[in-house]
Structure 1
């Protein structure tokens, strides 16, 4: 295959991956947000707080059962049926064992939080990770073979079906059970979708020798996934004994929404970054160019999106879920700032994984998690706002750690970091501040909200056209080409 043909093939894979990943992320996050609004209007902060207290057990169990097998499969040069089969039975076995252990531990969990209702609620909610264990090998098959469209369809269907069920039950006054059922059904629908689209089917051949080959890589991913899930769900787990379920409930949706906004970008980029960077790992110059485009694209979108959400947080909360949730606005602002930087850090982490350096990836995630836990444990008397502000600030600073960790594997200078990341952060911040101060005097809530967004977007486009025209021109030319082809 000629160099030009390889180039075109790579561009095609990248474009399709970004297109499907982008469409999926936008559709799924907006659907999730829309259904979330309906749930928020019916459920209370206490309902969300109760489920949040036990969420960390489910996500940690999911990390254990997956054990990094998806990334382990992706990074294997050759994969056969026996590899997927070993992953399937190992995942199901681990998931079943952990569910049984947590089932009998439910009274202790309820005692820890002094919430008796958590006994039955946790036993039911924990079914989510057990159902998920049946789809891990199939998900790995789809991910390795770049079946992005199929994963998109699966995730979208699971999201819609589970949320329709959750909203229906919420309006039938099932309170926190509606939210729990939505979580469990989402996992079940996802698993069924992975089975439907994957060509892999498990067989009763119990050869676990492939697991030994995968474990050298995936064991580090296991530890990493545990701490990733701790990092995202630690607030309620650590602070559940010191703050009420209602107080914690006001942090749940801001955290979830900031992650939703972040996921629009990270899901899009994650679909292509590792496979593409691995495909061109022997061409260092080309890999650097591709990486800079990926990280610039992420920063170009992440900072205006998340800093913009910070700017309109108060009006957004009031319009979307009414005044009863106004205490959530400050938490949304804080979470979004950290999420903007974390979106960019995600590209560095994908680069490190693509180089097979799972130990470096693990070290950074674990170190961040331990620091975050220390902040929450030793600073619990500071109040929820200060604690979340400190952990969000840690997120922003951690991008420097990811940059330093990636440098040995790519000649990416600090000046590149400034050009590709911090310049967009500054331009987005300037645009958002201009929008805030120019529309603050507008009395009408809806007009102020729309005007702030309009001014922020317009200002950001203008300042980019003046100071950073590269990405804008490239996106414009790409969409112009697509339109001409039609």
Structure 2
């Protein structure tokens, strides 16, 4: 079915983002609630070993999709044969990645001097295949903007994984509780996406239909692969240089400091990418969407994450246990950079993809990997804390660089970008000073400081909304009216 449809307006945007954020928030909160249980049942080494095993699985996951699912979303005239061709290609890539992870497991175990890696990787090697099988069906769901359905699938899969992890931890199976959690999550998600999607592949394959997707995926895949290297290589380097226990602390810190990107920036960027794709011929509209996304996300992230960083020792002592207090400093040193990356870079990457400038995406990815490797290599000569600090220093270098390249495509300015961050940053500073003042004047149990920090974090968000309400309303208004959008795709649909 062809024809132009009007892009859903503000209400649809709020529902779409709200559905994904609610699901991701549920996942994030579930992780926070379950980690105290797992942290008390498993060892620091278990978390370090799982973090190391996941690096190879994440590499393979990136290769199994190659960005072609994203490419299907933006194609206006893709037909049944084209969708099916992309689907079969991605499944083939998923099979290859599964074989790759399984075959690499003995070499990885030898390199990192850990024989326990082999069985873990053999079991988790199926995860890339599960995600490859759902790449095209998931693209069809996103193209219909059925984000509430995706959110439901994600919640169900998360619950299944958590139940397995907790049961396994109490059963005494150690690191296998974490392994089973990841496999269960991927398997249940796969079944849910199959049930939700209207896409049913035909037994057709055309190399001609693949060409535009391969061109799009060329730079996108390279960029995604480089991003994974940038994120995962420090884990491998820490394991190699500092050992499993420091890696365990770092891996636990990452479980927390990636939550803002996973719970908020990720779902928002998915929805904003679709909106940017539909406004790709209007630089001014793209600028407004980018600014609006930055402003809305900064309101939610900056005050809340500032409070977690400032009150890190009582927060992590309560959530985990006194054994895990080193995580507090690692979190505080990394979270500033990761929040800035989530607010500024995630949406800029969506913009690069939306206007088919994946060359800029690749360029920033290459530069980012080089800067990260150099910084981590230098930091490893000092301490684990220096490695954590390098994440924030990286963002202070790469965010302005992304803005510089983005200004070539849309009329953004440094002043305009910083203006989106200032209100929430000022409020965050105020509530942080308030907390430190309370902590200085009192001697309370950790639970009390935890509750005070949580209350001040919520207060910071509320104050930012109140003080900046006019600009926040303007940011939401950007999504009220959008131009005529992409032609809705109707790939092969089953009876």
Q: Alpha-carbon deviation of 1:475?
A: 9.6
Q: Alpha-carbon deviation of 1:423?
A: 4.2
Q: Alpha-carbon deviation of 1:231?
A: 2.3
Q: Alpha-carbon deviation of 1:149?
A: 1.1
Deviation per CA, 1:10-45, whole angstroms, max 9, x where unpaired?
A: 223322222212222222211222223322221111
After superposition, the Cα gap between the structure-2 partners of 1:95 and 1:282, relative to the gap in structure 1 and judged at 3 Å, is: closer
After superposition, the Cα gap between the structure-2 partners of 1:114 and 1:28, relative to the gap in structure 1 and judged at 3 Å, is: same
Q: Alpha-carbon deviation of 1:218?
A: 1.3
After superposition, the Cα gap between the structure-2 partners of 1:211 and 1:458, relative to the gap in structure 1 and judged at 3 Å, is: same
Where in structure 1 are there 5+ consecutive unaligned residues? Answer: 478-486
Q: Alpha-carbon deviation of 1:378?
A: 4.2
Q: Contact 2:149–2:196 at 8 Å: present in 1 too? A: yes
Other-structure match for 1:332? 331
Equivalences for residues 174-193 of structure 1 within 5 A? 174-193=173-192
Other-structure match for 1:217? 216
Other-structure match for 1:481? none
TM-score using structure 1 length: 0.91
Q: Contact 2:403–2:413 at 8 Å: present in 1 too? A: no
Structure 1 stretch displaced more, 233-242 or 155-164 = 233-242
Equivalences for residues 37-436 of structure 1 within 5 A? 37-345=36-344, 346-436=346-436
CA distance in 1, matches of 2:110, 2:203: 41
Q: Alpha-carbon deviation of 1:341?
A: 0.2
Other-structure match for 2:487? none
CA distance in 2, matches of 1:150, 1:118: 36
Deviation per CA, 1:152-196, whole angstroms, max 9, x where unpaired?
A: 111111111011111111111110111111111211111111111
Structure 1 stretch displaced more, 276-285 or 329-338 = 276-285
Q: Contact 2:36–2:321 at 8 Å: present in 1 too? A: no
CA distance in 1, matches of 2:120, 2:18: 39
- C-alpha RMSD of matched pairs (Å): 2.3
CA distance in 2, matches of 1:113, 1:361: 32
Q: Alpha-carbon deviation of 1:473?
A: 6.1
CA distance in 1, matches of 2:457, 2:443: 15
CA distance in 2, matches of 1:244, 1:236: 10
Deviation per CA, 1:134-164, whole angstroms, max 9, x where unpaired?
A: 1111112112221211111111111110111
CA distance in 1, matches of 2:327, 2:428: 23
SS of 2:202's equivalent?
Answer: coil
Structure 1 stretch displaced more, 164-173 or 83-92 = 83-92
Which structure's residues are more often helix, by fraction?
Answer: 1
CA distance in 2, matches of 1:101, 1:292: 41
Q: Alpha-carbon deviation of 1:320?
A: 0.9
SS of 2:241's equivalent?
Answer: coil
CA distance in 2, matches of 1:455, 1:130: 44
TM-score using structure 2 length: 0.89
Other-structure match for 2:455? 454
Q: Alpha-carbon deviation of 1:463?
A: 6.4
Q: Contact 2:284–2:410 at 8 Å: present in 1 too? A: no
Q: Contact 1:73–1:140 at 8 Å: present in 2 too? A: yes
CA distance in 2, matches of 1:457, 1:160: 26
Q: Alpha-carbon deviation of 1:430?
A: 3.2
Other-structure match for 2:480? none
Q: Alpha-carbon deviation of 1:302?
A: 1.8
SS of 2:96's equivalent?
Answer: helix
Q: Contact 2:307–2:456 at 8 Å: present in 1 too? A: no
CA distance in 1, matches of 2:396, 2:200: 43
Q: Contact 1:435–1:456 at 8 Å: present in 2 too? A: no
Deviation per CA, 1:207-226, whole angstroms, max 9, x where unpaired?
A: 33322220111111101111
Q: Contact 2:424–2:464 at 8 Å: present in 1 too? A: no
CA distance in 1, matches of 2:390, 2:66: 30
Structure 1 stretch displaced more, 64-73 or 17-26 = 17-26
Q: Contact 1:250–1:328 at 8 Å: present in 2 too? A: yes
After superposition, the Cα gap between the structure-2 partners of 1:292 and 1:163, relative to the gap in structure 1 and judged at 3 Å, is: same
Q: Contact 2:292–2:475 at 8 Å: present in 1 too? A: no
After superposition, the Cα gap between the structure-2 partners of 1:38 and 1:285, relative to the gap in structure 1 and judged at 3 Å, is: same
CA distance in 1, matches of 2:289, 2:347: 12
